[in-house]
Every structure is written in structure tokens, then in C-alpha cells.
Amino acid sequence: MGMVDTVPFFQPIQCKKSMNKPNITIRQANIADHQGVTNYAMQLVHQHQNFNPFRFVEFENHEQQIFDFFAAQITNPKAVVLVVEVENKIVGYSFLCLEESSLVDIAGEAVWLHDIYIDESVRGMGAGKLLLDASIDAAKNLGSQVLMLQVAAQNEFAKKLFEANGFKVATYEMMMNLSEG
């Protein structure tokens, strides 16, 4: 795959309000959204730390680093940051990036879905499925034939969502705490 020269065009997706469901919109993030994205990224960090604090760490000035990181990624032509809105309020995001091939990982160029997060208050309304579908479309727009992701071993809900949407286990990450016995 070749390099992407411009930010991919992403057509917003709207799910109109029905009897029991609110208005849900998925759209590409802009710089005005980046504090909301940062807030949910920090929630994702904390969720992962609760799963396994030895594997998932919080760095010094982590929130500021994430703020700065997403300010750059929102305008990165090799990345896509999507936000999901319910009734015009950001309630989640996803972050994808076209990653170069890696000799160390024995992997070709691929888009990685690094983050996907939906606020607990709106889970079960279909926003997560819409965001995942939009993320898959965004990966295609980046020109990749492959979409990769990692999911915490303890995150059963996410594993089921990904498997139900065509993702297959490709590898297992394993770790050993060398400071234990």
C-alpha cells in the first residue's frame, strides 16, 4: 500500500431517533473535539489499568501527553479519529492509524484500531456497533487490506463485539512478571 497524502474523507453517519433510541452520529473528529477525545482516552487508560495495572501503566503527565497526541492525530493524514455523538454530545471515540510494516513483528503495513471507547451511559444503544462499522470503513479509506486491533484479555464484552463483527484471533500477547517468585 502507498502512503496516504490527505486526510481521508469520512461521511458522517446518522442514526435517526426512533421510539427507544436517541439520535446517534458518527463523524470525523476536528480540533474542537479533542478535549472530549482526551477525556474518553483517559477513561480507556483507567479501564485498562483496572484490568491489569502491571501491563497498562499511567505515565507522568499522561493526560497532557494524550491531549497533545490527539491534537496531532486529528490532523495526521495517516490516522483517523472518529467521535460518536448521542443527542449532539460526544460519548465516545475511535482512533485508527496506518502503521508501517515491521520486521520485528513480521507484519505488513496495516491499519490498527488502537482505541475504541463508548461511555457506559450509552452502551447497549447501538453506538458501539455503529462506531466499529465506521472505523472499518475509515480503515478501508486509509487504503489498507488489513485492520488489526488488540483487546485486553479481561474485556469479554469487547472480544465478543469484535468476533461478532468478523475479527479473528491472530496472536496472543503473553507476559510474565519477573519480580514475582
pTM of the model: 0.86
Query: Which tens digits make up the pLDDT trace of 44-68?
Result: 888 888 888 888 888 899 999 999 9
- Whether 130 maps to a domain, the answer reads yes
Q: Is residue 30 part of a domain?
A: yes
Is residue 59 situated within a structural domain?
A: yes
For the chain, the farthest-separated pair of C-alpha atoms sits apart, in whole angstroms, at 57
Contact 90, 38 (CB under 8 A): no
Residue type, position 33, single letter: D
List pLDDT tens digits, range 146-176. Answer: 999 999 988 998 999 999 999 999 988 888 8
Residue 74 CA: distances (Å) to CA of 36, 94, 126: 12, 11, 24
The count of structural domains within the chain is 1
d(CA 169, CA 150): 9
Domain around 147: 13-164
